[in-house]
Amino acid sequence: MNRRPVLAALASLAVAPLSLPVLAQSYPSKPVRVVVPFAPGGTTDIIARILSERMGAALGQTVVVENKAGGGGIVGAAELVKAPADGHVLGMATVSTVASNPAINPRTPYNPLSDFTPIINLAATPNVIAVHPSFPARDYRTFLEVLKKSPGRYSYASSGTGGIGHLQMELYKNLAGVFVTHIPYRGAGPALNDTVAGQVPIIFDNLPSALPFIREGRLIPIVVAAPERLAVLPNVPTFKEVGLEPVNRMAFYGFVGPKGLSREVVDKVSAAARRTLEDASVRKRIEDTGSLIVANTPEQFAAQIRSEFEVYRQVVEKQKLTLE
């Protein structure tokens, strides 16, 4: 019997398992890009930048945020799908990119349940309907009366067609029996700018990006999507309080990688993010925006994405929503 092939095979088997930890230890070997699928200034951008500033120390490499806006988050998410699955390009996943947009847009160029590798849900945030100070309402009851008296007269801004702001506001319109024209933007930042400037009278936005303008009196909060009334907005009711519980859903912001990302890389990114979120100053900055820290496991985040997508798929079907 020729023992050389057998010995060679055994040697290869012995070496193969040892290579995996070496690969994990060498990651990251260069700066890590985090693709934010919206314009600067929105909540997704805020959360990503707070994390990236400190997470580089935990990873041992610089973490750079890159904004790739367009299509209600589709453009940036689609770029991540095409990236090498080596962990050097990560993305910020939101309800818009992995649930509401794919649920309403049959042309979404990726499958939110199979084309990404969930890593960690970083934070969740309330959503808010807010109006420009010139709008003839300061509370929800009056807001609803104004919209019902003048169907089609007013418009609202969102971060983009198919995004969570669009879909939740459309759900609100259907359930409340009002008609407001949708004005989509390439991210929450531009939508906020035009609403604060009075170009659009209403906005459906994530609270963290809208809150600074609310505190300055440049936007008036009307109703929020949150589990209960918020300490920062104690006089503003939730959608559940006004009888619209299906609209009472929060947004989330988490790290995902391209499909096929190794478990070793997933665990390293997840651990670095968790370590960063344990920093009191980081937690405070995130919580000061009105967000809640989540920091769940990859499995929990994957289940959350599946659940949220199914909720919005049913919303689109039951409310007969289509792209404008």
Q: Which residues pair with 156 in a beta bridge?
A: 182, 202
- Out of 3.40.190.150, 1.10.357.10, 3.40.50.2000, 3.40.50.1000, which CATH number does the structure's domain 31-125+250-319 have? 3.40.190.150
Residues with Cβ within 8 Å of residue 307, at least 6 apart in sequence: none
**Strands, E assignment, the chain:** 32-36, 63-67, 89-94, 116-125, 127-131, 155-158, 181-184, 202-206, 220-225, 251-258, 292-293
- Helices 207-215 and 188-196 meet at what angle, rounded to 10? 20
Conformation bin of residue 309: beta by default, left when phi > 0, alpha when psi is -120 to 50: alpha
With vertex at residue 138, the alpha carbon angle to CA 285 and CA 128, rounded to the nearest 5 degrees, is 35
**Tokens at 192, concatenated:** 């906020």
In order of 135, 180, 218, the CA distances from 143 in angstroms are 9, 12, 17
Q: What span, in angstroms and rounded, lies between the C-alpha atoms of 224 and 235?
A: 11
Asked if 30 and 61 count as a contact pair (C-beta separation under 8 A), the reply is: yes
Measured distance CA(160)–CA(101) in Å, rounded: 9
Does residue 47 contact residue 285 with C-beta atoms inside 8 Å? no
Distance CA 183, CA 199 (A): 11
- Residue 48 is predicted with a pLDDT of 96
User: What CATH code would you report for 127-247?
Assistant: 3.40.190.10
Measured CA to CA, the distance from residue 206 to residue 252 in angstroms comes to 10
- Assigned token pair, 149: 């008296």
Beta bridge partners, 247, equal: none
Are the CB atoms for 269 and 257 separated by under 8 Å?
yes
Element (H, E) at 125: strand 116-125
Which CA distances in Å does 158 have to 166, 170, 189, 259? Answer: 6, 11, 10, 29
In order, the DSSP letters of 158-191 are ESSTTSHHHHHHHHHHHHHT---EEEE-SSHHHH
The pLDDT of residue 25: 61
Enumerate the CATH 3.40.190.150 domain ranges in the chain, comma separated: 31-125+250-319
Specify the pLDDT at position 324.
60
Q: What is the pLDDT of residue 245?
A: 92
Question: Which residue carries 């849900």 as its tokens?
Answer: 121
DSSP reduced 3-state for 196: helix
Q: Which mean pLDDT values do the consecutive 10-residue runs of the chain (324 residues) have?
A: 44 42 72 95 90 94 94 91 97 94 92 98 95 98 97 93 85 92 88 97 92 96 94 94 92 96 97 97 89 94 94 80 72
Question: Residue 16's pLDDT is what?
Answer: 43
**Residue with tokens 């808010």, as numbered in its chain:** 128
Q: Where does the chain hold its CATH 3.40.190.10 domain(s)?
A: 127-247
Identify any residues that bridge with 89 across adjacent strands, giving them in sequence order. 33
- Look at residue 14 in the predicted model and tell me its pLDDT: 44
- The per-residue pLDDT for 12 is 43
